[in-house]
Amino acid sequence: MKIVDNQDQDSAPNAEGAPSNPRRRRFASTGIKASGVILTVASPPAMATYICKSPSGFMSGNLKSSPGNQTVICSGLSPGYWKNWPQAWPSGCYPTATKYRPATTFASVFPGGGTTLYQRGTLMQVLTDNNNSQDPYNLGAHLVAAYLNVRSNKINYFTETSLKIMWHDLCKYGYYSPKAGTRWTAADVAYYLSRTEH
């Protein structure tokens, strides 16, 4: 376990080596119990090829936090799985049209995309398309897989809303910010989403 020191980097100790700021002295005298923050460093298995972290958690390296008693569900499936097993799609997501209902379109879930595939294609068409000009970095395919994973409770460390925000920000600003000061391109988001899949 590593204890994080909250002392400012630019403050100088006094002659005895104690912090010169009395507020920091009070903090030091109350000890760690007053901070309420415990960080745990966990090493993932050497062969792990996927991650179970929100985008901001992914940016934090191997630092993990466990809020409350929530169990992290980390069973995300790949675009290839969802493409080949349409019968496993969650309720309300339709891979193909029937005479009673249309197939779910990409734009109905992720509006605002620039390519024809994003504007007019179904979720299944985005999964099966191999035209890199229509789905750069396979971003759409990984978004669809992540969406289906969330809807089918295969992962719970991000939500439909967070996926839609990723997409919106990429379309509107050209990047997504998982945390302040960090910008992910479409390639970065596709890479992150691909690491959430088995």
Mean pLDDT of the region 156-175: 95
Residue 16 has pLDDT above 80, yes or no: no
- On the 0-12 / 13-18 / 19+ scale of CB atoms within 10 A, 86 is middle
Weakest mean pLDDT among 11-15, 157-161, 175-179: 11-15
Which residue has tokens 């595939």?
A: 117
pLDDT of 85: 98
pLDDT of 168: 97
Residue 127 has pLDDT above 90, yes or no: yes
Residue 49 has pLDDT above 70, yes or no: no
pLDDT of 48: 34
**Is the C-alpha dihedral spanning 124, 111, 173, 189 positive or negative?**
negative
Residue 45 has pLDDT above 80, yes or no: no
Distance CA 93, CA 88 (A): 10
pLDDT tens string 25-35: 444 444 433 33
Mean pLDDT of the region 65-72: 62
Residue 149 has pLDDT above 80, yes or no: yes
Residue 176 has pLDDT above 90, yes or no: yes
pLDDT of 56: 52
Mean pLDDT of the region 47-73: 54
Q: What residue type is 142 in one-letter code? A: H
- pLDDT band for position 182 (cuts 50, 70, 90): very high
pLDDT of 113: 87
Quickly count: other Cβ atoms within 10 Å of residue 153's Cβ: 10
Distance CA 40, CA 38 (A): 7
pLDDT of 134: 93
- pLDDT band for position 69 (cuts 50, 70, 90): low
Parse the chain into domains and list their residue ranges: 73-194
> Counting every residue, how long is the chain?
198
pLDDT of 130: 84
pLDDT tens string 109-126: 999 988 999 999 999 999
Quickly count: other Cβ atoms within 10 Å of residue 7's Cβ: 12
